[in-house]
A and B are shown apart, each in its own frame.
Chain A
Amino acid sequence: MAMTEDTDLPRLTPLDDRLQGKGRLFRRPEELTDEQFDLLAAAWADDALSGDSLAETEEALTSSPERRMRAESFRQIRLYPLIDRWEGRNRMLKAAPGTYAIRRILIVTLTVAAALGALVIPGPLKTKPDNKSAGPAVAEAQKIGEAITIAEAQTTGEALIPEASPVIKTQPAAGVTSATQNMNQTAGAANPSIDKTSSTRLAGVISGSAADITSKPRPVGMIPESLRPERIVPQQNDITASVTNSSIHANGEPRTTAEIAEYRDLAESIALMHDFSGAVPLLAVGPEAFRPAPLELKNIIRLPVPEREENWIVRGLSLLAEAITKEPTSVDGYFIADACIKGVNRVLGWEMELEQEKNNEGEQLATNFSSSLLTFSAPAKKNHH
């Protein structure tokens, strides 16, 4: 049996049903709501329209000047970049592989230089461990009979005097003369001890020999003018002293030249020391001092303490800086080390710091170093208390 097409696929044929009010649904561009128009205007202002869309929008804008103004205003809605800089930019820069090795060598070299500058150079600026450098004043006896007995004040640390040196500590000022007299009682002993209860008020113990005492005659020309005999005005209360002709007496009467010569060796062996604070005068004497010697050490003057002797490197750098800048320049170890570290920071962008820690009197207590890798504090060497 043959099947026709109609019976195989039956279909519904549309009837003539039409939308009656279709004409009411047509819209013109002018009929867009404000919100719709704003979106269209934003697109128009952004040059996002093309073809029919653009034509219709233009038509709407033409028909309504108000809307054109509104659409034009969207052209002003543009953001322009403000100044926003990325501060971490340099952190993300990468060095070429070849420069890594060079940079590492440079970093290590500069770091070592900075560390040496911080640790080594300031070191020699501290007290030198001998009697001729910084520290309490040491009086060097001069020849009494010739011109003057001047004790040149030099700075040295109390702790730096060799143990063998005969050192006597006394209380301040009073009893220096009687101390000498009482020393006579123990004269001749190799290591005589001094009775602490004696009228001399000796506070220390004599030990060692006089050979350890450094005594160096100094030409008159090298003696400061203020300390020459004619300039010396005896003062009763001065502590650390130099001995002059006029200061040697016997029962209140001046000694003769012969007597003075007799005590010349004694005077040379006496070294008067004084600590920085001035509270405790120190008297260093040799065994000869225990001979009968009615020596009156009335005329005691305070000796000037010379400035610290500078390290030769620092002195040289100071002179070099002076020659270049033509101005008096004081370079010290801290200055050099700080400059090194600042240079490293500038080159490598690190944040190392070196700072001095000082007390209220301006004395350096310690040097502090800090970086991301290493932090330490090096206390300053103290030569007095």
Chain B
Amino acid sequence: MTVKEYNNAVREFGDHVYRFIFRSIKDRHRADDIVQDSYEKLWRYVTEIEYGAVKSWLFSTAYNRMIDVIRKDSRLVGVEYYDDSSLYAEENGSDLNEVLHRALETLPPAQRSVILLRDYEGYSYKEIADITALSEAQVKTYIFRGRVALRNYLEKTSIWQ
């Protein structure tokens, strides 16, 4: 990959990787750090990575870095288990997409990430499996369970009626 291709990767995929990480951990500063670390790592291996594979490589690197951060940060791990019942009353009159994003925050990190990769980036189950180092069956299970959880969340709000 050339310097020009590297810069293209920054311009083209930077926002994508950032929004994936940010929506996964809901922390702008950490997301910024994680994406920046990923690009710094890309720059170190710039001559070894093909431009065609750089997007998946970036998502994979950022995802793994995010998992490390989540494991180290007990507060973020706690998000997986927090009580979301107080959220339901506030969803009246909101846009469905915004409500879904709020509902997404109630999902476990693994489900959240695979759904984001599927919906935001349109990756296939196989590609998601490669990025997240999960099996394809696991990816499918996480996605389907996640969608059921999102639907159940919507059912509890008035926006679904």
Contacts and interface: CB of A to CB of B under 8 A. Distances in A.
Interface stretch (B11-19, B64-72, B74-82, B85-93): B11-19
Interface string B23-42: 10000000010011001100
B43 A94 contact: yes
A87 B32 contact: yes
A38 B148 contact: yes
B133 interface: no
B140 A48 contact: yes
Interface residues on B, range: 35 or more
Given A79-B116, A79-B120, A91-B36, A74 B147 contact: yes
Contacts of B104: 79
A84 B23 contact: yes
A91 B7 CA distance: 11
Contacts of A74: 147, 151
A48 B125 contact: yes
B40 to A, nearest CB: 8
Contacts of B150: 77
A9 interface: no
A93 B22 CA distance: 20
Interface stretch (A39-47, A103-111, A113-121, A151-159): A39-47
A46 B10 contact: no
Contacts of B39: 92
Interface in A253-269: none
Interface in B118-156: 118-120, 125, 140, 143-145, 147-148, 150-151, 154
A81 interface: yes
Category for how many chain A residues contact B: 20 to 34
B148 A42 contact: yes
B68 to A, nearest CB: 19
B97 A79 contact: yes
Given A79-B120, A80-B97, A89 B15 contact: yes
A46 B147 CA distance: 10
Nearest to B39: A92
Interface string B92-107: 0000111011001000
Given A79-B119, A81-B19, A87-B32, A45 B101 contact: no
A86 interface: yes
Interface in A38-93: 38-39, 42-43, 45-46, 48, 73-74, 76-82, 84-89, 91-93
B148 A46 contact: no
A84 B147 contact: no
A8 B119 CA distance: 63
14 contacts: A39-B148, A42-B143, A42-B147, A79-B100, A79-B101, A79-B115, A79-B120, A82-B23, A82-B101, A84-B18, A85-B18, A86-B14, A86-B17, A92-B10
Interface of B: 3-4, 6-7, 10-11, 14-15, 17-19, 22-23, 32, 35-36, 39-40, 43, 96-98, 100-101, 104, 115-116, 118-120, 125, 140, 143-145, 147-148, 150-151, 154
Q: Identify the 7 closest CB pairs spanning chains A and B, nearest first.
A: A86-B18, A84-B19, A79-B119, A42-B144, A42-B147, A89-B14, A92-B39
